[in-house]
Amino acid sequence: MLAAAASLGSRLPPERVLAQELQTSRATLREALRLLRSLGVVESAPRRGTRIVAPPSIPLHIALPDLNRFGNPQEVMEARMLVEPSVAALAALRSTPSDWEVLARAIAAGGAASSPSTFERWDRRFHISLARCAGNRPLAYLVELLQGVRDAFLWGHLKREDLAHPGRMADYLADHRGILEAVRRRRPEEARQRMAEHLTRVHRNLLSHLPGHVRNAESRPKAQRS
């Protein structure tokens, strides 16, 4: 990404141009740029664009992998179910009342969403905001990477199919409210359990929209290498 502007102080090309050069969606590009900002590599300002302000502390191919390679919904959900319940438990211990307000606003905005795509945006915001208030930057970074996979074609198709199901968004909002309530009450094990139950529900619902032969292949144990 930084090949187009290799020196400190250089500006990156406009978002539309950079997305075309990298052959990626603008949504994925925005996620990558936000991660670079969190790493202190770039900074953005209105009307001045985005410029490089520091060399990356780790190689960018590690910091910003090709998220489309991780678009397998089964594997993504397995990773989320390993990471996000622990994040919720930490948030119950470390979050602040101002963090709770951010989470509540994300839930309210999701409830007011007029389309699945808008709901999806606020759903993503809830999970990322929860990770940020857990007080562990590596875990928050992992959550943000996993959320970035939502732009992959297969994943996006499954999410659209899932959210079109009657009552689905209401179910997920109820899950989010339960997670936030456990966080507010400083109950880490309850927050962990509620997040695990939420992700199990999401996982089950997403896989139900896969064609039968694909779903069977996704759930079949992978052969171990000799």
The per-residue pLDDT for range 130-178, each reduced to its tens digit, is 999 999 988 998 888 788 776 555 666 788 888 888 999 999 999 999 9
Cα 106 to Cα 212: distance, rounded to the nearest angstrom: 34
- State the distance between the two ends of the chain, measured CA to CA, in whole angstroms: 37
More confident call, 207 vs 172: 172
Residue 6: other Cβ atoms inside 10 A: 8
Q: Which long-range contacts link 125-132 to residues 24+ away (Cβ below 8 Å)? A: 126/176, 127/84, 129/99, 129/102, 129/103, 130/84, 130/87, 130/88, 130/91, 130/103, 130/179, 130/183, 131/84, 131/87, 131/91, 132/99
pLDDT for the residue 221: 53
- DSSP category for residue 68: G
Six token digits for residue 160? 């659209």
pLDDT band at 226 (very low <50, low <70, confident <90, very high): very low
**Among 15-24, 87-96, 191-200, 216-225, the least confident range:** 216-225
SS3 at position 45: strand
Cα 208 to Cα 159: distance, rounded to the nearest angstrom: 11
pLDDT at 224 > cutoff 50: no
Domains of the chain: 2-63 (1.10.10.10), 71-219 (1.20.120.530)
From 116, 122, 24, select the one nearest 71 (Cα to Cα): 24
Tell me the average pLDDT of the chain.
Answer: 81
pLDDT at 14 > cutoff 80: yes
pLDDT for the residue 38: 63
Cα 208 to Cα 131: distance, rounded to the nearest angstrom: 27
Asked if residue 121 lies in contact with residue 159, where contact means CB atoms within 8 angstroms, the answer is no
Cα 58 to Cα 63: distance, rounded to the nearest angstrom: 7
Strand boundaries in the chain, DSSP class E: 42-45, 49-52
Burial code (b: 16+ CB inside 10 Å, e: under 16) for 21-46 equals ebebbeebbebbbebbeebebbeeee
Q: Whole-model pTM?
A: 0.71
- DSSP category for residue 11: B
pLDDT for the residue 76: 85
Give how far Cα 58 sits from Cα of 12, 26, 28, 64, Å: 19, 24, 20, 10
Residues 6+ apart with CB under 8 A from 96: 133
Six token digits for residue 135? 């007080």
Six token digits for residue 66? 């090709």
pLDDT for the residue 1: 52
